[in-house]
Homo-oligomer: A and B are copies of this chain.
Amino acid sequence: MGDFNESVVLDAIRRHTSGLSRVELAKATGLSAQTVSNITRRLLDQGVARESGKHSTGTGKPRTLLEIVPAARYAVGIHLDPAVITCILVDLLGTVVAQRSRRTPSGADTDGTVADMAASVAELLTEAGIDAERVLGLGIAAPGPIDAAAGSVVDPPELHGWGRYPLRDRLSEATGFPALLDKDVTAAVVAERWAGAARDSRNLLFFYLGTGSGMGLVVEDTVLRGVSGNAGEVGGLGAACSIHTLVDEAIALGVLGADFTVVDPADAQRGLRRLAELAAEGDRRAGGIIERLALRVGRGVCAAATLLDIDTIVFGGPAWQVLGEHMFPPIEAMVARSPFVKATHPTLVASTTLGENVAAIGAASLVLDQVLSVQPRSLLLG
């Protein structure tokens, strides 16, 4: 794995879940029949692809279809969130094979927490009966801003002790796997491309609503990371959309009682769930808080979709899991009304189908994306 044309072929097979014949592969990739034949032989030998049946087109002899062998390789994902740490194991198609979550320790014992993470990864592999040799690597999703070169988070507002801690390298040492670190919002959009419903979109915005908020961006089929790996920050909007701010507002307005606090991210999450319950029960003030949040998010999303000329907008993240039902209708209406978003093409608005672990799935998908995706820029090194 790693050759450019091989990645092109693998990518085409992966994206056609019903299988592709060698002739169709040559057509889809623009590669010669001979090149496709050589590459597919290599993929079959490695066990990464298999022949999945015959496809008859009516004329000529039936064509043998090729498909990915999902269990040929795996990737590990770890999402370090202020409220919860999630470890996940996915196969080559990004399907979750095993996962476990635990509350994020509030102390600053980073080395101890990394050792726990590594133990969780080992347990996941044992549980799933998967040999470490079939693991391509480990991806880490963390709140931004990050120092991409150092593989660490920078001054995280709710992750005391993790600032500038060499998280990527320590986790790589502790697990023995090559490791990558990226922002949670970037991981989320990569998850959506690998395993979500938006896998065919070349211009995709993922609005991640979690402890903090931000956007994962895919433009022209490329994950947008920016100068320092910190693309997707929504500035003041991120703070205005945080669970902390929302629950704080609900407490200040008396919508949530004195037994709710925002001292700890897990407490804030509890307040958020109660707020959603109140809204579902018809509490108009709770509904109003959520609706105002939806308007803020909707404005930001419309502005970004307009600026980047994007046609697919997906929402997800732990706070979206709780509030999405209430937020989706007003946001969808805003996008539909926006004179700029809809001017030149239709825009799809959707909730992720990947659930609350989207960032952890994304962390693992970072590895799949790095190892298996077409990376045209790598050519310049070749």
B residues in contact with A228, CB < 8 Å: 309, 344-345
Complex interface residues of chain A between 292 and 341 (CB less than 8 A to chain B): 302-304, 306-311, 338, 340
A203 at the interface (CB under 8 A from B): yes
Digitize A141-178: 1 where CB-to-B-CB distance is under 8 Å, 0 elsewhere.
Answer: 00001010000001000000000000000000000000
Residue pair A233, B379 in contact (C-beta under 8 Å) = no
Inter-chain CA distance A230–B309, complex, in Å, is 6
Instruction: Please name the residue on chain B nearest to A215 by beta carbon.
Output: B307
Inter-chain CA distance A323–B303, complex, in Å, is 25
A250 at the interface (CB under 8 A from B): no
A227 at the interface (CB under 8 A from B): yes
Indicate which residue in B8, B227, B232 contacts A380 across the interface (CB closer than 8 Å): B8
The count of residues in chain A whose C-beta lies closer than 8 Å to any C-beta of chain B is 47
Complex interface residues of chain A between 3 and 57 (CB less than 8 A to chain B): 4, 8, 29-30
A61 at the interface (CB under 8 A from B): no
Inter-chain CA distance A363–B295, complex, in Å, is 38
Listed A/B pairs (10) with beta-carbon separation below 8 Å: A4-B379, A145-B343, A219-B219, A227-B310, A227-B311, A235-B306, A304-B307, A376-B376, A376-B377, A379-B379
Indicate which residue in B30, B309, B380 contacts A30 across the interface (CB closer than 8 Å): B380
B residues in contact with A379, CB < 8 Å: 4, 376, 379
Complex interface residues of chain A between 184 and 237 (CB less than 8 A to chain B): 202-203, 215, 217, 219-220, 222, 224-235
A60 at the interface (CB under 8 A from B): no
Smallest distance from the beta carbon of A64 to chain B beta carbons, Å?
Answer: 24
B residues in contact with A345, CB < 8 Å: 227-228
Digitize A225-265: 1 where CB-to-B-CB distance is under 8 Å, 0 elsewhere.
Answer: 11111111111000000000000000000000000000000
Indicate which residue in B306, B311, B338 contacts A234 across the interface (CB closer than 8 Å): B306
Q: 10 smallest A-B Cβ distances: which pairs?
A: A226-B309, A376-B376, A231-B309, A228-B344, A227-B311, A230-B309, A235-B340, A235-B306, A203-B227, A233-B306
Residue pair A226, B30 in contact (C-beta under 8 Å) = no
B residues in contact with A377, CB < 8 Å: 376
A382 at the interface (CB under 8 A from B): yes
Smallest distance from the beta carbon of A69 to chain B beta carbons, Å?
Answer: 24
Inter-chain CA distance A345–B146, complex, in Å, is 11
Residue pair A203, B220 in contact (C-beta under 8 Å) = no
Which of A30, A233, A310, A338 is the most central at the interface, judged by chain B CB atoms within 10 Å of its CB? A233
9 new A-B contacts, CB < 8 A, other than A147-B344, A224-B308, A235-B306, are A8-B380, A29-B380, A145-B344, A215-B307, A220-B225, A227-B345, A231-B307, A234-B307, A307-B307
